[in-house]
Chain A
Amino acid sequence: MRTTFRGLGAVLALTPLLAGCFVSAEEGSGADGAAGADGRLRVALAVPPVQALSPYSNDATVLSKLSVAEGLTALNKDGAAAPALAKSWTRKNDTTWTFELREATFQDGTEVTAESVVNSLDHANAAETKPRVLSDVTLTARADDADTVTISTKSADPVLPLRLASPALAVLSAKAYQKDGTVSPVGNGTGPFAITKLTGKTGAALDRYDGYWGGKAKASGIDVTWIADGTARANALRGGDVDIAEWIPTAQAKLLDTDIRHEVPSVRTDSLVLNTRGGLFSDASLRAAAREAVDGSALVDSVFGGYADPAQGLFGPAVAWAADQRVEVTGRAKAATPAQVKAKTKGRTLRLATYTNRAELPEAASVLQQQLEKAGFTVRQDVREYTQMEADLLAGKYDALVFSRVTLLDTGDAVAYLASDYTSDGVYNIAGLKDPKVDQAIKAAAEEGDTQQRQQKIMRAEAEILRTDAAVPLVHEKVVQGIATDVEGVILDPRERSLIDVDTHLK
């Protein structure tokens, strides 16, 4: 028996040793405390990589957030295309554009040439699941000479320069593209920071790339930690483990000191999407009743803790041009009174869905439930993880959905969102909207080449959509970024594409 206890003791004594060996393997990730001392930035990002930072996945935004890779163009503050690897471009005719490249080098030392640009675009075109940004366009790229690329599209694409700013179309050196179809940006970008090490889904280390065409970055490197839990991210910033923590949940924002809490209006709009294709809300007067019952501004100070703006339409203050060109909504259906609602629903319950992935949505749903019940509806909630309900959503199994949607997708152009969510053949048409006038308005906007005209037509399409009451905008979200007081030059980007660039540094 003595031996048994001794054996038990020995096993337990081994524990710290085991721990030691596992941990030493992890320590290479470089996120240790001393890192901040030599001018390296420590960043906590929210969404862990799913495909080893492949630009054709969710991870693409990491490449642009940390200035690792660039495309031919970039988006400026107003959301217009600005020069990046291409210093200028011209539209030769409806379907043909030429881009003049600047002199730049990849982080592996090779030259950026027209050939390498064509190679990158060809790979994106041929990717196993095509990047979203190329889903509605067919383009071919051709190298004219060493620094001129001609890109032609099958049909006219007025927003091609915006499209090319997408992180999914980043230009990487030939070495990045492997035979099995995977793409590795590690050390293969053109940006001011080069990834040197990627540790699974937990962290990455980046060093400054001294040969960057735009000059040397002020920070000597970046240590990235992925922390999926919002509270843990806020804690890491408050505990001094990181200098920058993105996406602080609204429940935690108040815990940060005001000088480290920075809010940015986001292009995300939360709305109540009503299912027009069947069930309760195929009746326009009931949709109107729901629209009148629902008050998004009640959510702003409660559920969102002040980090949101009351909805003005589908596009919020983050889309700078939207407010000035907004078109008044006319011709809406007359709302049913609570008594009429009771009569028309005939005891059927309203199935209100939302998902747990964004912490605010389930809370918002409970507030909306009360508002809808006041208008005479009987409401039952269904709250699940998004992937657990997406198929049901697309199949139209719910009457209403509290939905948080990015209104400027990776094209940076608003039409893509309208087309996929509200046209009768839209693939993400959860509202099941089939309205010829809406289709026509969106089509008109898509075909317009002139920026000013396009914006006007987009706002006209917005009014057409709101007229149908297929979507009731609730709030425009704001993003809270946590930035320690000794960091300067962090970019607060409403599109959540940029975070750190050449000028970001520790004081």
Chain B
Amino acid sequence: MGAITAGAKARPAQWRAGLGRLVAGAALLTAVALLPWLSGTDPALTVLRARSADQDPTPAQLAAVREQLGLDQGPLTHLAHWLGGLPRGDAGTSWVSGEPVLPQVSAAFAVSVTLMLGALVVTLAVAALVSARTLYLGSRRRLRQARAGTGAAVLAALPKFLLASLLATVCGVWLGWLPSSGWEGPSSMVLPSLALGVPSGAMIGGLLDQSLPAAFQEPWARTWHAFGFPPGLTARNALRRALAGVLPQLLPTVVGLVGGAVAVEKIFNIPGLGRLALDAALAQDLPPLQTATMVLILLGVTAGLLLQALRRALLGPALRDGALPALHAPDLPRRRSMSWIAAFCGIALLTVVGAGLLRDPLHVDTAARLLPPSPAHPLGTDALGRDLLARLGHGALRTTGVALAVTTVSVLLGLLLGTAAQVSSGLTEAMSTLPAVLAGLLTTAVTGPSVWGAALAVCMVGWTPYAAQTAALLEQERASGHMLAALSFGAGPRYLLRHHHLPAVLPAVLRNALLRLPTTVLVLASLGFLGLGEQPPTAEWGRLLSENQPYLELAPWAVLGPACALVLLSVLAVSGAPGTGQRRHRSSW
């Protein structure tokens, strides 16, 4: 019976999802097309500046540019003209260079996709390493204690641009193993792929590692073990079961790197799509920006559909037939070391913050520049001779406060949109490949530069991982047998939400959010150059990392302090969070 109703429902649902994708894509493209008119900054001025840095912005020159580009016609004419050219394979010409856009964008896209695939390989390898132990023990039924996931948290907290700088310096310059920059051969791919893939892999691996014990807890696994099936087979099936919930995370985490790896592209001088889009956005060069956005949206939707198909293939007919057993995390005892780790991180952070708050974070002393750690400056000083301990301490509250607030809003948005997956899946796919910088520009266009602008911009794109996860987990939960039972007993929507949906989704989403906390801190800081967020010289962890990055080799301690603080925060969040993945409300066996 379940199969029949599902089949009849499927068609309108598909239509709705397709329509959702179309609307989301169109809305995003329109928003981008309006950018030069919304921003309040004359596009003639930015285009002129991009063409020639020394050009005087005389009224006559600006008028010439305006006339040449037809800026007086307004945004809609431009959008229509651009759309009209697309079927002919003509995406217009760049306002800055006057060259056709399509060859540029497609070349950059090819480079970025290649890089992303390299990063994907690293991601999968790292994820496999992170979850290998649980897989091994679980398939042999020797999982006795819950894993803290500290290792994954440490790796996931590593800033990608820092990793990139480090790899370029050590492997590229000191050891000379691989080229430190450029895009000239497969050897150029190795370092950037590592820089992008290691943190992503740790994130994916951490999520997988957390959902595996539940799969091993299912009745089939116990039966197979009792019958003496080889552990490898059990492991493979458990992996299939757990992967289905984690796969959608690849979209924002890895596919999103096609447009969102600007910092790493800069450090390795890779002619990728991220840099192209950023340059176009800053110059308000609309045709390349629109084309890049459209390509990213199409990529997001394609990758989203692909991942969905892969997920359904992994879960098999059980998903469609509503016969999927729900995944229940076992009530494994927490390892004692977990509390110790959490306590250690907490105390270390409190000490740093406490000690730092007693010092002056803004006092510039140009004579005490880049001093190594000493009793006077326990963490050393930065390029302006400011005490790093003080800056860390004073930045702690602001950094974590804003990051937590942004994460909370993003999680709520994600849960909300994830529950309406049929309509919102298109928006999720389109937004997860959109670079945060673009969201930042749209925000500045509307609100102007402001302290809360950065938070708003990150919220705009930050919800996608949670929405994707919620949608995937809910689909599985809805297809499980006990839901049918609950429905037949007359459970209302509110009851279902409280007792089935939320408990199925919340623990995993929270863990995801905690693993992403350091990334949120860094993304917030990365929008500073648009005038969003706290202005310098205010101390803030993300800024500490980016402003000291150039001194990585001369004064490694200047980045070591903030990087360690970020790692501590991440480990504390993950290990100190109460009972992630534990559902006490019912037990199915």
Q: Which residue of A lies closest to B367 (CB)?
A: A302
- Known contacts A19-B186, A130-B61, A229-B269; is A57 also within 8 Å of B51 by CB? yes
Interfacial residues of chain B within 253-267, with CB under 8 A of chain A in the complex: 266-267
The contact string, 1 if C-beta is below 8 Å from chain B, for chain A 348-369, is 0000000010010011011101
Q: How many residues of B contact A (CB 8 A)?
A: 88
Interchain CB contact under 8 A, A302 and B536 = no
Residues on A with C-beta less than 8 A from B139 are: none
Contact B550–A249 (Cβ < 8 Å): yes
A334 in the interface (beta carbon within 8 A): no
B254 to chain A minimum Cβ distance, whole angstroms, is 12
Stretch with Cβ within 8 A of A (4 or more), from B109-117, B420-428, B467-475, B491-499: B109-117
Question: Are A26 and B183 touching (Cβ within 8 A)?
Answer: yes
- State in angstroms the CA–CA spacing of A367 and B240 once bound together: 57
Q: CB < 8 Å: which of B50, B96, B283, B536 contacts A383?
A: B536
Is there contact, CB below 8 Å, between B236 and A1? yes
Q: Roughly how many angstroms separate A370 CA and B537 CA in the complex, as a whole number? A: 10
Q: Chain B residues near A230: list those with CB within 8 A.
A: 550
Find A19's partner among B65, B99, B118 (CB 8 Å cutoff): B118
The answer for the CA separation of A166 and B290 in the assembled complex, in Å, is 35
Separation in Å of the A237 CB from the closest CB of chain B? 9
Contacts of B179 in A (CB 8 A): 239, 241
Q: With A4-B314, A228-B266, A302-B366 as known contacts, state yes or no: A410 contacts B104, CB within 8 Å.
A: no
Residues of A within 8 A of B367 (CB): 302
Q: Which single member of B54, B180, B529 contacts A235 (CB below 8 Å)?
A: B180
**CB within 8 Å of B: which of A365-416?**
365-367, 369-370, 380-391, 394, 406, 409-410
Do A15 and B118 touch across chains, with their CB atoms under 8 A apart?
Answer: yes
Task: Choose one: A16, A239, A255; the contact of B186 (CB below 8 Å).
Answer: A16
B264 CB → nearest A CB, Å? 11
Verify if A301 is at the interface (C-beta below 8 Å from B): yes
- B111–A22 touching, CB < 8 Å: yes
Q: Are B173 and A238 in contact (CB under 8 A)?
A: yes
Across-interface contacts of A202 in B (CB, < 8 A): 183, 271
Question: Which residues of A lie under 8 Å from residue B189 when comparing CB positions?
Answer: 19
Instruction: Tell whether A20 is near chain B: CB-to-CB under 8 Å.
Output: yes
Chain B residues near A252: list those with CB within 8 A: 550
B184 touches A31 (CB 8 A): yes
Is B8 among interface residues, defined by CB-CB distance under 8 A?
no
A196 at the interface (CB under 8 A from B): no
Residue among A32, A56, A58 facing the most chain B CB atoms (10 A cut-off) = A58
Contact A235 B186 (CB under 8 A): no
- Chain A residue with the shortest CB-CB distance to B51: A57
The answer to whether A384 touches B96, judged by C-beta atoms less than 8 angstroms apart, is no
Q: Beyond A367-B384, A390-B49, is A362–B266 a contact (Cβ under 8 Å)?
A: no
Check A388/B444 contact, CB under 8 A, given A26-B184, A382-B535: yes
Q: Does B535 contact A427, Cβ atoms closer than 8 Å? A: no
Per-position binary interface string of chain A over residues 29-44, scored 1 when its CB falls under 8 Å from any chain B CB and 0 otherwise:
1011000000000000
Q: Answer whether residue B57 sits at the interface, using C-beta atoms and an 8 A cutoff.
A: yes
Q: Quick check: B271 and A201 within 8 Å, CB to CB?
A: yes
In the complex with contacts A32-B184, A381-B536, A1-B364 CB distance below 8 A: no
Query: How many residues does chain A have at the interface if contact means C-beta atoms less than 8 Å apart?
Result: 86
| Nearest opposing residue in chain B for A127, CB measure | B64
How far does the alpha carbon of A20 sit from the alpha carbon of B189 in the complex, in Å? 11
- Measured between alpha carbons, how far is A202 from B183 in the docked complex, in Å? 9
Closest CB in chain B relative to A66 CB, distance in Å: 19
Q: Are B182 and A58 in contact (CB under 8 A)?
A: no
CB distance from B463 to the nearest CB of A (A): 26
Q: Which stretch (B39-47, B84-92, B129-137, B568-576) binds chain A?
A: B39-47
**Cα A391 to Cα B369 with chains together (Å):** 35
- Nearest CB in chain A: distance from B53 CB, A: 6
**A383 vs B380: C-alpha distance when bound (angstroms):** 25
Q: Is A51 an interface residue (CB 8 A)?
A: yes
Complex contact B54–A52 (CB within 8 A): no
B449 interface contact, C-beta 8 A: yes
Question: Given the complex of chains A and B, what is the CA–CA distance between A363 and B113 in angstroms?
Answer: 36
Q: Which B residue's beta carbon lies closest to that of A360?
A: B383
Query: Which residues 64-105 in B have Cβ within 8 Å of A in the complex?
Result: 64-65, 68, 96-99, 104
Q: Does A10 sit within 8 A of B, measured CB to CB?
A: no
Q: Does B378 contact A (CB under 8 A)?
A: no
In the complex, whether A132 has a CB less than 8 A from a CB of chain B is yes
Instruction: Say yes or no for A151: interface residue by CB 8 A criterion.
Output: no
Contact A385 B282 (CB under 8 A): yes
Q: Is A337 an interface residue (CB 8 A)?
A: no
Tell which of B11-19, B164-172, B202-210, B393-401 binds the partner.
B164-172
**Residue B466 interfacial (CB < 8 Å):** no
Chain A, residues 207-248, CB within 8 Å of chain B (1/0): the string is 000000000000000000101111110011011110000000
- Known contacts A129-B64, A386-B49, A241 near B181 by CB under 8 Å: yes
Are the CB atoms of B364 and A367 closer together than 8 Å? yes
Q: When A58-B53, A129-B64, A135-B56 are in contact, do A389 and B268 touch as well, CB less than 8 Å?
A: no
B223 interface residue per 8 A CB criterion: no
Question: CA separation between A29 and B266, bound complex, in Å?
Answer: 19
B152 at the interface (CB under 8 A from A): no
Known: A409-B54, A427-B56. A18 touches B41 (CB 8 A): no
Distance between Cα atoms of A241 and B178 in the complex (Å): 11
Q: Is B357 engaged at the interface, CB distance under 8 Å to the other chain?
A: no
B449 touches A382 (CB 8 A): yes
Contact of A385 among B68, B314, B530 (CB under 8 A): B530
Does A128 belong to the interface (CB within 8 Å)?
yes
Q: Closest Cβ of chain A: how far from B244's Cβ, in Å?
A: 10
Q: Report whether A387 and B50 are in contact in the complex, using a CB–CB cutoff of 8 Å.
A: yes
Kindly provide the distance from the CB of B96 to the nearest chain A CB, expressed in whole angstroms.
Answer: 6
**Residue pair A1, B183 in contact (C-beta under 8 Å):** no
Closest to A180 in B: B98
Partner of B184, one of A23, A229, A239: A23
**A370 CB contact (under 8 Å) in B61, B169, B180, B363:** B363
Give the complex CA separation of A236 and B182 in angstroms.
9
Instruction: Indicate with 1 or 0, residue by residue over A234-271, a CB within 8 angstroms of chain B CB atoms.
Output: 01101111000000010110110000000000000000
A50 interface residue, CB < 8 Å from B?
yes
Q: Is A255 within 8 A of B554, CB to CB?
A: yes
Instruction: Indicate if A182 sits at the interface (CB-CB under 8 A).
Output: yes
Give complex CA distance A181, B48 in Å.
16
Q: Is B333 an interface residue (CB 8 A)?
A: no
**Which residues from chain A contact B65 at a C-beta distance below 8 Å?**
128-129
B362 at the interface (CB under 8 A from A): yes
Min CB gap A16→B, angstroms: 7
The 8 tightest CB contacts between A and B, nearest first, are A302-B366, A251-B550, A235-B180, A384-B531, A15-B117, A232-B181, A427-B56, A366-B537
Query: What are 12 A-B pairs at a CB distance below 8 A?
Result: A23-B185, A56-B52, A182-B98, A236-B181, A241-B180, A254-B554, A298-B366, A302-B384, A387-B49, A388-B530, A427-B57, A427-B58
Additional pairs, 20, CB under 8 Å, beyond known A57-B52, A225-B269, A249-B550? A23-B188, A26-B111, A26-B184, A29-B184, A31-B182, A135-B61, A200-B107, A202-B183, A227-B269, A229-B267, A236-B180, A239-B180, A367-B364, A382-B535, A383-B531, A383-B535, A387-B283, A388-B531, A390-B41, A390-B46
